[in-house]
Structure formats: C-alpha cells, structure tokens
Structure 1
Amino acid sequence: MKKFLSISAFLATFICLLLTGVTEAQASEAASIHQVIETPLPIYLDASEESSVLGYLTQGDFVSAEISQSEWTYIHANGFTGYVFSSGITKAQSTKYLVNKKEGTYLYTYPSPTAQKNGTVFDKSIVNVYGTAPGGWSYVQYGHQVGYVASNSLKLPTVTKKRVNAVKGAQIHLTASPSSEEIGTITHQTVVEQYTSIAGWAYVEAGEQKGYVKASELTDPVSLGNKTYNQGVAVANGQVKRVALTFDDGPDAKVTLQILAILKKYEAKATFFMVGRNVSKNQAIVKQIYEEGHEIGNHTWNHPKLTSLSKANVKQEIDNTSNAIYKAIGQNPTVFRPPYGATSNQVRSVLSMPTILWSVDTLDWKHRNAAKILSYVKTSAKDGSIILMHDIHQSTANGLENVILYLQKQGYELVTVSEILQ
C-alpha cells in the first residue's frame, strides 16, 4: 500500500500558521536537524510516492526538517528541498563548538570544498555541531544557516560564569549582530554561562535561554559564599544611595500580583523570599517575578524554625524549595532567608548561597497597618538598608506605594539584595 499525504494537508498547515500570525520565516526558525537512518531515502517533490523523485539521501546524511506530519517531513538537504518519509530520519543531538579560524569559515552544502557555499561563520562564533562526515567535515548550524565546515576550524569552547548587569535585562539575539532577530531577554542579575566573546557580543546560556547578548551587559559574578548579611554596602560619595526591598512568605495569588504591579509602575526591583509550598501552587507568579527582573530567594518549604531541626531536615526544607523554584523558572534561587531569622553554623553548613537577614523590620506581619509600614521605613532606612516586608498581607500591598514614593523622593534606588551586597 502506498504511503500518501495530500499536498492540501500541508497547505492547511501553512494556512494555520498564517492565521495564527506565524510567518514562513518564523516557521523556519522551528526547523530542527535530523539525520538519515534509512538508505537510500528518496526526496519527493510532493508528499506522495507518486510524485517526482528529486534525489536520494544516504545513511548519515543531515537534513533540516521544517514541517512534519505523521508519515512525511518537509526537509532541506544537499541542495534539495522536498518531502521524505518521517520514519527515515531521526532527530540529531548537538555539541557546541567555537570557530577557531581567524578569517572565519565557509558553510558548504555538502562535505566538499568544491560544493556550493551556503554562508560564512566568523571567527569565535559558537556553532552547534551535529556530527561529522568523512574527509574531516562537520555538519553545523549557526542561526538559520546550516551546512558543512572543515572540522579543523573548530574547537571546544572554554565556558565562564557571568552575571547580567543590565537593569532592564539583556536582549538575546539569534546571531552576533544588532540586526539579527531578538529571541528573548535574560533578566537582570541572572548568572549565565558564557561560551565566547566576538566583536562586542557574547554567546551565553541560562537554562533554556541561549543566544548572543551584548558583552557590555555582562559582568563577572561576585561570590557571596554562604556568609550571613543583614546590611548592604553603602555607596561612595556622589553615587546614588540604595536600599533593598524584600518580601517573605509568598508568593500569594492576590497580594504578590498587586505588589508586582506597584514595583513595575515605579521601575523598582525587589527580592522575594519564597516558601516552597507556595511556589508549587503559584508557578506562573514565580515566573512573572523572575521575568520582570526581581530576585528570587529560598525561604524553606514549610517555614519552620530551622535551629530546632536536624541537619537532614534542614537540608530537605531548603532543597525541596530550591527544586520547586528551579522547576518554575529554570534557575536556582540566589539567596536564602531563614524563617524568623533563626540560623546557626549547622544551618549554614548545608547552604551554598548567602543568608540574608535585615536591617529594617517594618513589623507588617504584626500590626497589619499600611501607615505604620511607612513610619518604620522613615525612622530606620539608610543607604544599604535591607527592608523586611511580607507579600501575603493586603495591608503591605496597600502601603507599598507610599513607601516607594518616599524612598525615591529621598534619592534611593530600589535594587535587589545581591546588588546591594556588592
């Protein structure tokens, strides 16, 4: 029985893409690299065995697969564009390599220096290598470009840690060019892995986020260790004073969202110390906090007094919360705050992040009075202060706007905890 899928079915897919606002260029962005596992594998003009055969692929050949519907996949390979049986290809895995050739390297349609050139990749660019071909060739992808390059023009990169220091985050580009398409944003203070730096651009990865950002938007991360801090660093004369707003015990489905809206209105950043059981119930809010450039801290799973627990139970409280945060945003928390401020050498021994206490306690949990929150801030806030509040009380959300207005009027910049410690 002949395998057949009508052209109209594929046209329906394109129409669906257009109706949902997806352009052909965007559709090609989703293209993935596959490798041929059947030999010979014919390339058909249409999704039908009755259509013309354009050419054949052999086992090990690489193809760029765009649209796949059950039995057929639309591909680009070896200068051909057409349809192949989906069963004849399998998705290929890649390894990152650095182009190590001063003049860059050409991409060829097949593994031969006489083949048609498919583009150029510059020195120090990062490419995804999917496999090799006889004669010293590697099949690579750079942005939307794919093809073969000489394997001796590549080497494994050296990976270093960096931190995003752009307040509004670092825009991710598909390639190392301001004119290439933007594919996302890495938020302020995120620690990333940098694979290369080229002409003012750096290829970085942070969880699922990856691509090129401006190198000027990165800085070396400062290791804060697992020390305990209750006060930030005061700035030098002439620099803007800073305070860190911190919120404990959330996220809360209602109050946290109100607080986020106020912070966004005044372009203020804060740190949220989250209770693990609340993280698991409010993952979308955790993601919003992260994406809006705020810092996320660990505040244990059940909010116990850690100094009364065994070392194993302390570790469980912290690890379970870190795992829940990672599940929500693809990043581990950067700071820790013990419930009630109760810490000890045993508690710190299971931590790899700094313990953050506070220098201004608004007692919002006790009085539940919006006006009193502001009075405590007015009395005690100074350059480098870490201010304690809770994003589970409506009165805290009600009083936050006046607190921010007062602090900004006094010349304070509202930053995250990690920023204020450096």
Structure 2
Amino acid sequence: MRYRALTAALLLAGLTACGDQAAPTPVTSSAPVRSAAPTVESAPATADPRAALPPALQARMPRFAPPPAATKVTLPGNGTAGWFSRIPTDQKVAFITIDDGWEKNPLAAQLFRAADVPITLFLEVNAIADNPGYFRTLQQTGATIQNHTISHPVLKGRSYAFQKHEICGGADKLGQLYGTRPTLFRPPGGAHDATTLRAAHDCGMKAAFFWKEATNKGKVFYQGKKVVQPGDIILMHFRPRFVDDFLAVLNAIHKAGLTPARLEDYIP
C-alpha cells in the first residue's frame, strides 16, 4: 500500500474522556455504523484493500495523496517534554490520533488498511489488558503505538512520583507488548502541568500532545474555524461508533484539502 510502501513498515467534557472545554458546533457524518458490525473477510493481498469493506463504507472513504517529507519541530532543551496541540507547519497535513482502547471494533484493522494513512494510537494499559493482540493487529496495518498512562488518572496537580509511575509504567508495558517503547505521550484529558512534562521527559517521552479537533458519534468538533487547519492534531477514541468517527475524521481532513501524516515523523 502507498503509505506503508513509502514508510516501510478543549476539547470536550461531555464529548470525550479526554477533554475539558465546552462543545463547539458539530459537523455530522452520514448514517451510523455500529461496532456490532460483522468482521468482513479479507480481500486477496494483491487486491485493493477497500474491496474488503461493504460498498457503503467504500463510498464514504476518501483517497489521499502521499504526505510530504516531514519538517521536524523544535523540542525544549530544559529537561521537559515538548507540548503541542498542533504541529507548527504550513504543510497541508493533519494528524489522526486515537486514545484509550476500551472498544475493540472488529472493522478497525480493515478500515486502517483500506484508508492507508498514518495513525497514532495513544493506548491506556488498563484499557487494552483484556485483548492486547487486537492492537498488535492494528500495529501490523502500519499504526504506531504511543503512551496514554496505565490507568488514565488526571495527572495535573499530582506528585512527581505519581505522575512518573503512570507515565513510565505505561511506556514500559506498551514496549513489552508491542516491541517498541513509546516516545510520545498524551496525558488523560489533556490535563497537565509542569510536573507532567518533566516526568514525561524523565520517562523518555520526547513530546506530549493535546488536540485541535475531536470526534464522537460521527461528528467532528472544531475549535475556532469549522475546518481542519494545516498541522492540526485530531483526537478520536476507541468507542462504539468507531467506524463513523474514523470516516468523519478522514472526510474532514479531505474536505480541508489536507492529507494525513505520521505524527512521529515530525518529532526529532
């Protein structure tokens, strides 16, 4: 597939478990697709992976040009992780990030293959504990796995020792499960303080992330302009309407004239 061949390998209190701002005006995608959808048999390896999806889903999935070569951000040199809600770039790219891991939709891997775009998963250890192999399958589609703590506590205001335990413990466990220890981090709810960024750095996290758009129930919620801007980081979760959320994100990026890029490529 195109991207893997090239690479070889707030917001919302009521909306998200990660977010604490009032909900902006939503933009709604088309009819819902529930997580109870049956697994679709895989198409032959030589076929367009979209052919493995029901026609109704194929029609809702846009195609993208390859992302441009990444321009690296500058990280702080003061013993703290970088902090970004968007990547400071004029390149026509946006970044798809998905948090937690509680809902394990059977169509996710096929959607990822069919979309053939870079995706970053910020996984909570407790949320994936019942089926870590599910996310190994997503990793095999080209998705990358990063850190979202052990148990999803609000970190802001907690002691350095508490925050370091959650961040380092999450990274260590994910490294054991998926072969590569994470170097990027999202604090639960985006809530953080100076201690969070210092503990993240000391746990080997180069950068930590907030977001500019979020999705739930097939709707995209924007900050400011109702269009995805170059460099924006978009937040999803593994939730019952995962299929609708994912397609809504793809179409919002496509409508903005952007292409999904790999978040990790922009971090030195």
TM range (shorter): 0.5 to 0.7
Aligned to 1:169: 8
CA separation in 1, counterparts of 2:214 and 2:251?
Answer: 18
1:339 to 2:188 alignment:
yes
SS at match of 1:278: helix
- The residue number in structure 2 matching 1:286 is 135
1:389 partnered with 2:236: yes
- 5 Å-filtered alignment, 1:141-152, equals none
For the residues of structure 1 that align with 2:252 and 2:190, how far apart are their CA atoms?
A: 27
Q: Distance in 1 between matches of 2:265 and 2:248?
A: 23
1:278-317 paired onto structure 2 within 5 Å: 278-317=127-166
In 1, Cα distance between the equivalents of 2:116 and 2:252?
A: 14
Distance 2:154 2:227 in 1: 26
> Residue 226 of structure 2: SS of its match in structure 1?
helix
* Pair 329,224 (structure 1): closer, same or farther in 2 beyond 3 Å: farther
Question: Which residue is 1:243 aligned to?
Answer: 94
d(CA) in 2 for partners of 1:360, 1:402? 11
Match of 1:411 among 254, 257, 266: 257
C-alpha contact (below 8 Å) 2:122/2:148 kept by paired residues: yes
Per the TM alignment, residue 359 of structure 1 is displaced from its structure 2 partner at its CA by 1.5
Closer, same or farther: CA 345–406 of 1 in aligned 2, 3 Å: closer
Indicate the SS of the match to 1:388.
strand
For 1:318 and 1:418, how far apart are their aligned partners in 2? 18
Kept after mapping to 1: 8 A contact 2:86/2:232: yes
* Partner AA of 2:194 in structure 1: N
Cα offsets for 1:233-291 (capped at 9, x unmatched):
3235xxxx111011111153x22x43332222121121111111123332212322322
8 Å contact 1:233–1:384 — kept in the other structure? yes
Q: What's the CA shift for 1:224?
A: 4.3
Q: CA deviation at 1:411?
A: 3.1
- Residue 270 (structure 1) aligned with residue 119 (structure 2): yes
Pair member with larger Rg: 1
Contact 1:279–1:324 (Cα < 8 Å) also in 2: no
| 1:313-392 alignment runs, 5 A limit | 313-352=162-201, 353=205, 354-362=207-215, 364=216, 369-370=217-218, 372-373=219-220, 376=222, 379-391=226-238
Length, aligned pairs only:
196
C-alpha separation between the residues in 2 aligned to 1:361 and 1:406? 11
Deviation at 1:327, TM superposition (A): 1.4
Following TM superposition, the consecutive aligned residue runs of length 4 or more in structure 1 with deviations greater than 4 angstroms are 221-225, 375-378
- Give the fraction of aligned pairs with identical amino acids, expressed as a percent: 26
1:230 and 1:317 map into 2 onto residues whose CA distance is 21
Structure 2 unaligned residues grouped into runs of 5+: 10-69
Instruction: Work out whether residues 213 and 235 of structure 2, in 8 Å CA contact, stay in contact via their aligned partners in 1.
Output: yes
Contact map agreement 1:229 1:356 (CA 8 A) in 2: yes
Task: Give me the whole-angstrom Cα distance separating, in 2, the residues matched to 1:288 and 1:232.
Answer: 28
Q: What is the deviation of 1:166?
A: 6.1
Q: Deviations over 1:37-83 (max 9, x none)?
A: xxxxxxxxxxxxxxxxxxxxxxxxxxxxxxxxxxxxxxxxxxxxxxx
1:224 to 1:279, Cα distance in 2 relative to 1, 3 A:
farther
Higher strand share: 1
Q: Where does structure 1 lack aligned partners over 5 or more consecutive residues?
A: 1-164, 171-218
Give 1:349 shift: 1.2
TM-score of the superposed pair, with normalisation by structure 1? 0.42
Q: RCO higher in 1 or 2 (8 Å CA, sep ≥ 6)?
A: 2
Q: TM-score, normalised by structure 2?
A: 0.64
Equivalent residue letter for 2:96: L
Structure 1 residue 303: Cα displacement: 0.7
SS of equivalent to 2:242: helix
Give SS of 1:318's match.
helix
RMSD: 2.9
